[in-house]
Amino acid sequence: MPAKPLPIDAPAPLSPSTRVLLGPGPSDVHPRVLAALGMPLLGHLDPEFVALMDETQGLLRHVFRTENRLTMAVSGTGSAGMEAVVVNLIEPGDKMLVCVNGVFGGRMVDVAERAGAQVTAIERPWGEVFDPQEVRDAVKKVGPKLVGIVHAETSTGAWQPIEEIAKIAHEGGAMIAIDTVTSLAGVPVEIDAWEIDAVYSGTQKCLSCPPGLAPVSFSDRAAQVIADRKSKVQSWYLDMQMIQRYWGSDRFYHHTAPISMNYALREALALVVEEGLEARHARHLKNHRALKAGLNAMGIGYVTAEGHQLPQLNCVRIPEGIDDLAVRKRLLGEWGIEIGGGLGPFKGQAWRIGLMGQGSRPANVTLLLAALETCLRDLGYSVEPGAALAAASEAYGNAAQAVAR
């Protein structure tokens, strides 16, 4: 006799709390994107869905600033995009050079090792970026097939210049792959102009779409490397030789695509195009400058090297004597604001404040500054009342005058 199922009460309808997502991701989602998630499902080979796939590819090419044929959205989060790039370009025994200055450079090392690569990692202290000369020296010494580097390090808020390092990789006979999970649609990403061979991103940061897809793009050179492989790709699910047949004209069945997430990504990309990439980048920068001015007025500085601070991901030092978790719990409990804690050596030492996509708005900047000032004051931290908001207001005024000129 089969066992009887244990009795269980029917759960109440799902009702998540409303949050202001100002952490390292996910970011707030535009109402149009949320509405797209609830649209009727189509089959993954339905002509209407196939047309939507084609449209999404065109929008991704626009946002990546590329004409790469092999551009698509991998079914999975940004880490799936990382793995897709590495396992398709790396065969067992291949040499790979990875630049590590935070969590996600370290993750790339792990993924490459699992793919059988001979990995050489060069490192910078967290919060710093790489100098092209140290990459040149490493490329000459290692002779890698692939160089991997993070454009926007989510764990530190460090913004890595890429163009010269891409040239160095190519001069050394290597391909270059970059992580743009936190940078795409927040700061300039120029895949063709920088001659990037492979790139991956995520939907949940500056695209302001729920997590679940990983935009990727491969240059013609990288696509040929994939076609010429001597061994099967380590991952069946992420094998671009098969996936591209589904996203290409063959429409060969590979897996059942997440239909609703593709609707959401299409709508999120449409919003980026409507706003314009330059305007979107400028918006992120304007709100970053206002936040930075307000934090500085409270005596809070950045852990990231000056001149390399991401506008959309602000990694700042927690003031001496202030309890990290106490502040974040109160922000969440009383104001519904989520910010991120530090990772690795920054755990308990830093906050990560995201102003990404839909979340990059003056209302969120002023709300956070006012709430944070209250939390700090109540914990005995000396802060001049209203100074943070006044500094942010001045920064916004300066930005408006600059536009008027």
pLDDT tens string 157-183: 999 999 999 999 999 999 999 999 999
Burial class (CB in 10 A: 0-12, 13-18, 19+), 400: exposed
- Say if residue 371's pLDDT is above 90: yes
Six token digits for residue 241: 């030789």
Burial class (CB in 10 A: 0-12, 13-18, 19+), 10: exposed
In 3D, which of 376, 74, 125 has the Cα closest to residue 237? 74
Average pLDDT over residues 246-260: 87
pLDDT tens string 223-238: 999 999 999 999 999 9
Six token digits for residue 74: 């991998």
Torsion of CA 287, 291, 293, 298, to 10 degrees: 170
- Position with higher pLDDT, 402 vs 200: 200
Q: How far apart are the first and last CA of the chain?
A: 82
**Strand runs (DSSP E) across 194-253, as ranges?**
198-200, 213-218
Q: What is the pLDDT of residue 1?
A: 65
CA distance 217 to 340: 29
pLDDT tens string 87-121: 999 999 999 999 999 999 999 999 999 999 999 99
pLDDT tens string 270-291: 999 999 999 999 999 999 999 9
- Say if residue 210's pLDDT is above 80: yes
CATH number of 276-404: 3.90.1150.10
pLDDT tens string 21-55: 999 999 999 999 999 999 999 998 899 999 999 99
**Domain spans of the chain?**
31-274, 276-404
pLDDT tens string 73-87: 999 999 999 999 999
- Say if residue 336's pLDDT is above 90: yes
Tell me: domain 31-274, CATH 3.40.640.10, correct? yes
Lowest-confidence segment of 97-106, 131-140, 247-256, 346-355 by average pLDDT: 247-256
- Say if residue 198's pLDDT is above 80: yes
Q: What is the pLDDT of residue 249?
A: 80
CA distance 29 to 207: 9
CA distance 88 to 82: 10
Q: What is the pLDDT of residue 248?
A: 83
- Say if residue 405's pLDDT is above 70: no
Number of other CB atoms surrounding residue 183 within 10 Å: 27
